[in-house]
A and B are shown apart, each in its own frame.
Chain A
Amino acid sequence: MSKSIAKSLWLLLFAVVLCCVVYPLALWAIGQSVFPFQANGSIVKGQDGAPVGSLLIAQPFTKDEYFQPRPSAASYNGAASSSSALAASNYALRNRVATTLGPIVRYKDGSNAGKLVAPDIERWFQQDRFQGNPSIVLQWADAHNSLAQAWVAADTTHAGYVTDWTKSHVSVVAQFVKANPGTPQPQPSDLAVVFFETFSRENPGKFPSAVTHTDSAGKSTTAIEPVNGGTDIQSTFFDMWRTDHADVPLQDLPGDMLTTSGSGLDPHITLQNAEYQLDRVAAKWAADTKRDAPDVRAEIGKLLNEKAFAPFNGIAGEKLINVLEVNLQLRNRYGAPS
C-alpha cells in the first residue's frame, strides 16, 4: 500500500512536469516564434493600428454598409461561447426565425416578385382575421402563452404598460384572480395572456408598440401605444400571416443567415448568404461614396469571389466568406461608413 502511494506520487510528479510544463512550453515556444499571428489569436488591426478583432471570432455589425455575420446565441461575446440549444420541436426556434424573416422576406414570382411582404402583413393584420376568426392578437396570445409573457418581460416599459392597464381594468384582474386562486397578487407577466386578450378586443387590428413623439420644443419621448403598423407587427405576426397564406411563393433566404451557430462565434457565412446581402451593402456604399451603384456592386462582388473559399476546396462543403476579413477590406477601400 505505502509502496503504491509512493510510486503513484512519483508517477503524478513525472507526468505533471512532462505533460503540463515541458509539453506546453515547447509548443508555446514554437507557436510564438514560428506562428506568432495564429498563436496570439489571429488578431487583425484597423487603420489606426488598434486591434479591431480576431479573424476567427465573429463580431457584430449593425450598419448596412457591412456584411452581417450569422446571428449569435452568445451575443458575440468572445468570453462566453454559447449555442441556442433550441430543439427543433421548441416553438422558440421557429419564432426566432419567423420574427427575423417578417420584415425582410420578399415575394418570389408573379406581379409582386421581389417586393417586400411586410406591407401586406400590416394590411392583413389591420383586418384582424386569422383562419376565419376575428382578433389576431387574442389568438396569438392564446396559442403562444410564453411569447405573450416574454413580451411583458422583455422591457420595463412593456411591464409598465401592463401595470397601467391593470389600473383601468380592475374587474378583469379580479376575474383573473378568481380563476387562478394560486396567484392572489398577479404580476404583469402573469396577466400577459389576459392583457392581450382584452387589448385585442378593445383595439382590433392593433398591437402595443414603442412610438417616439417629438414635441414642439424638440424633446422626444418614447411610449407604448396601440399601433397598426411597424416592424413589431411585421415580425411578430409573420408566422401567422404565413399560415393564412401558405401557398404564396416566397423567396427562400439562406439557411445560415437565420440559424445560430454552435459556438455563437462562427466567423463565416456562405457565399450564397453574402450574395444575398450584396445589394444592400453595395447600394449603401454607393450612396456613401456618391458613386454609381452597379460599379460598386461589381467591385464588391469581385471581392467576394476573391475571398471565397470552401472546406477542402469544395470536397466537403460550400463556398464561405470570412465576414470580418471582407468588411475590413471594405472599410479600408471606401473609408468610414456614414
Chain B
Amino acid sequence: MTIWALPIAILITTTILAFPLSRYLAWIMDGKYRAPRALRWFEDRLNSGTQDWKLYVGSMLVFNTLLFIFGFLVLALQPLMPLNGDGKGMLAPSTIFHSVVSFMTNTDLQHYSGDQHLSNFSQIFFGLSNFFLSASIGFCGLVAIIRAFRSDTHLGNFFVDMWRVVVYMFLPIAFILGIVFVQQGSPMTFESSVQVSTLERGAMGTTEKGEPKQQSVVVGPLAAFVPMKQLGTNGGGFFGMNSAHPFENPTALTNFLSCVAMMLFPFGLVLMFGRMLKRLRHSYVIFSVMMVLMIGTVIWAVYYDALQPNPGLTSHPLAQTYEVPSATAPGGKRVVPVPAVAGLPVDQHLGNLEGKEMRFGTSAGATFAALTVDVTDGAVNAEHDSLNPIAALSPMVGMWLNCIFGGKGVGMINMLLYMIIGIFVAGMMVGRTPEYLGKKIGGREAKLALIALLVHPLMILFPTGFFAATDWGLKAESNPGAHGFSQIAYQFSSASANNGSAFDGLGVTNGFANNPAPAPEAVPWDIVTGIVIIVSRFLPIIAPIAMAAYLGAKKSAPFGLGTLRDDTATFGFLLLGTVLIIGALLFLPVAALGPLAEHLGPIPFGG
C-alpha cells in the first residue's frame, strides 16, 4: 500500500491546488488585476500596443531570437565571467548551440553535465533566465489561442503577457518553494565547491605525492535554481544527475514538492482554458481525459518498476543461441550464445533499485519517471536507462502522446489539436459539419492542426531510423541490442516532445571545446537534436495560433440539436480514442523494436 500512497498524494494535492490557481491565472491573464503604480511602470514600458495573431507570433519569434543570442553569449563567454570558482572553460560550439536551443524552448535536453561544465554564472544567467522565460513563452502561446477562440478584437500584447506570467505567477511561488528547499538542505551559495577530507582519510585514494585525496563537493545556488526548474516544467539539472542528486532533491518532502511544482501549472492551465472561455465543464472533460492517461502511465511505471525485480538479476533458465549476419565472421554468420542464468541472491522486495535513490520513497523513482514526461518537465530522480525494460515504455509513451497535461501551455495546445482532429473525423463519420466552440472547422483549420500534429512523429521517427542505421547512432549506444535502439529513440522523442529527460548512457557529451576525448558522434547529435527541438517547438505553437485565429474569425453557429456537445463523457471518450489511435499507433513499431523486444528477452542480452 505504501507503494501507491505517494503517487496518489501527489495527484490529489496538485488537483486541489490547480482549482484556485486556475482562477488566479485567468484573473491575471484577463487583465483584471490592477498592478500598483510601481509595477505598472514596467508594464507601460513593455506595452507595444494591441496585436493581431501575426504581430503576436512575430514578437514571440523576435524575442526568442534575442533569447538565443543572449544564451549563446553567456555560455560562450563563460571563462571570462565571474562566479566561476573552479575555472570552467568554454563548452564545445556545437554543445553551446544545442544547449541554448534546448533551454530556450523549454526542452532542457542536456548534452553536458552542469556540475562538470557550467559555472554558477552560467547556471544563473543561462539556466535560470531560460527557466522563467521559456516557460512563459508557451504559456503566452496558449493564452493567445484562447483569446483567438473567443473572437477577441485582438490577442493582447506579447510583452505584457510575458511580464505578467513571470512576475505575478512564477516568481512568488518559486520564492516560497526556494525557502523550503534551502531549509531541507539544498545549498544556496555562490561558492563553486567545498573540499572535504573524508572521515576515513585516504578512502578516496591518494594523490601522486602520497597525500590522501580530498572529496570535492560541488555546491551552488540550488535553492533558487530548482524550484523554477520544476515550476516551469523545464527540467534542466544543475547537476548531471538532475533531481536524483542529493543537493538538488535532498529529502522525500522536496521530491514531493518537485512533483507537485512541475504538475501545478499544466493542471491549472487546462482549467484556466475553461475559465477564460467560460466553458468550465468542457475543460473538466479535457482534464479528466488527461488524468486518465496520466494515471495509466503512473500505474504502468510503478507496477513494472517498483513492484517487479530487475530482470537482469533474476533467473532465466533457457539457454539459446542466435545466428546473426556478420561481414567479418567466417561464413558470414556470427553465433551469439545466450547462456542460461540462475537467479542471483538479491533481495528485490523494493523493486528495481539500480539507478534509484533511497530517500524519496519506494515508488518515487517510477512515479517521477511517469510524471516528468507527462508534463514534459524532463527532470529525473532516477536513471531512466536502468528502469525495467517494460517500465521504460511509460515515459516513452508519455513523450509520444505529448498531451498528458504537457508543458507550459504546449500540452494543452497539443490536446486542442487532437480535439480538432477528433471532431473533424467524428463530423465526417456522421455526415455533419464539424464545429468547435460553435465555429465551423474547415479544411484550412484541419490542415493546420494536422501539420502541427504530424511534426512530432516525423521529427522522432526519421532521425531515429537514420541514426539507428548509421555510426552516428551505433557508436553512441552504451547498451546492447534492443536497449541501444531504445536509447536513440528516447533521445529523439525527448527532443521532439521538448521534454529533456534521457537514457543517460547515450554517448552525446562533447564537453569543453578543448576536450581531447569527446564522445565520437557528439557533434551530429548536438546539431540534429537541436534542429528537431526547434522545429517541434515552434511549428506546434505557431500553426495552432493561426488556426485559432482563422477559427475565431468565423461566425458562431447557434447551438442546436445536431451540435456535438463538448462537455459530456461521450466527448471525453472521443478525445481519448483520438489520442490513443493517432498518438500511440504511430509509435507502435518503435515500441516493439525497443522496450517490448528488450522485455521479451533474452536477458541478459549477449555477453
On A, residues with C-beta under 8 Å from B are 1, 3-5, 7-12, 14-16, 18-20, 23-24, 26-28, 30-32, 34-35, 38-43, 46, 50-57, 59-63, 66, 70, 76-91, 93-94, 97-98, 101, 105, 142-147, 179-180, 182, 239, 242-243, 245-246, 250-256, 258-270, 272, 311-312, 314-318, 320, 324, 327-328, 331, 337
- In the complex, what residues of B have CB within 8 A of residue A16's CB? 70, 125, 129
B196:A87 contact, CB within 8 angstroms: no
A262:B357 contact, CB within 8 angstroms: yes
In the bound assembly, the distance between CA atoms of A32 and B182 in angstroms comes to: 9
A91:B115 contact, CB within 8 angstroms: no
- In the complex, what residues of B have CB within 8 A of residue A269's CB? 358
Q: How far apart are A57's CB and chain B's nearest CB, in angstroms?
A: 5
Q: Which residue of A lies closest to B252 (CB)?
A: A311
In the bound assembly, the distance between CA atoms of A251 and B239 in angstroms comes to: 37
User: Quick one: which of B162, B341, B360 contacts A94, CB cutoff 8 A?
Assistant: B341
**Known contacts A46-B199, A253-B345; A263/B357 CB under 8 A:** yes
**Known contacts A59-B199, A312-B361; A40/B219 CB under 8 A:** yes
Query: How many pairs, one residue from A and one from B, have CB atoms within 8 Å of each other in the complex?
Result: 428
User: Quick one: which of A78, A142, A267 contacts B216, CB cutoff 8 A?
Assistant: A78
* Chain B stretch 138-164: residues in CB contact (< 8 A) with chain A: 159, 162-163
In the bound assembly, the distance between CA atoms of A141 and B315 in angstroms comes to: 21
**Known contacts A28-B224, A90-B605; A260/B355 CB under 8 A:** yes
**Known contacts A10-B45, A311-B360; A263/B183 CB under 8 A:** no
**CB of B175 within 8 Å of the partner chain:** yes
- In the complex, what residues of A have CB within 8 A of residue B5's CB? 312, 315-316
In the bound assembly, the distance between CA atoms of A251 and B480 in angstroms comes to: 31
Q: How many residues of B contact A (CB 8 A)?
A: 137
Q: How far apart are B170's CB and chain A's nearest CB, in angstroms?
A: 8
B383:A38 contact, CB within 8 angstroms: no
Q: Which residue of A lies closest to B347 (CB)?
A: A252
- In the complex, what residues of B have CB within 8 A of residue A23's CB? 128, 171, 174-175, 178, 224
- In the complex, what residues of A have CB within 8 A of residue B349's CB? 255
- In the complex, what residues of B have CB within 8 A of residue A12's CB? 63, 66-67, 70, 133
**Known contacts A46-B199, A83-B355, A262-B365; A91/B605 CB under 8 A:** yes
In the bound assembly, the distance between CA atoms of A40 and B222 in angstroms comes to: 10
A28:B199 contact, CB within 8 angstroms: no
A4:B129 contact, CB within 8 angstroms: no
A94:B312 contact, CB within 8 angstroms: yes
- In the complex, what residues of B have CB within 8 A of residue A83's CB? 241, 244, 355, 383, 385-386, 504
Q: Which residue of B lies closest to A183 (CB)?
A: B328
A315:B2 contact, CB within 8 angstroms: yes
Identify 16 residue pairs between A and B in the complex whose beta-carbon atoms are under 8 Å apart, listed by A's number: A7-B159, A14-B163, A18-B166, A38-B184, A38-B186, A54-B217, A70-B358, A80-B116, A80-B240, A88-B388, A91-B607, A267-B246, A316-B252, A316-B362, A316-B364, A317-B361
B342:A51 contact, CB within 8 angstroms: no
- In the complex, what residues of A have CB within 8 A of residue B184's CB? 38
Q: How far apart are A63's CB and chain B's nearest CB, in angstroms?
A: 6
**CB of B519 within 8 Å of the partner chain:** no
A314:B605 contact, CB within 8 angstroms: no
A90:B353 contact, CB within 8 angstroms: no
Q: How far apart are B415's CB and chain A's nearest CB, in angstroms?
A: 28
A86:B385 contact, CB within 8 angstroms: yes
**Known contacts A20-B129, A246-B315, A317-B362; A89/B389 CB under 8 A:** yes
B215:A53 contact, CB within 8 angstroms: yes
B188:A28 contact, CB within 8 angstroms: yes
B186:A20 contact, CB within 8 angstroms: no
A79:B218 contact, CB within 8 angstroms: yes
User: Quick one: which of A8, A86, A316 contacts B66, CB cutoff 8 A?
Assistant: A8
**CB of B62 within 8 Å of the partner chain:** yes
Q: Which residue of B lies closest to A57 (CB)?
A: B217
**CB of B505 within 8 Å of the partner chain:** yes
In the bound assembly, the distance between CA atoms of A272 and B251 in angstroms comes to: 20
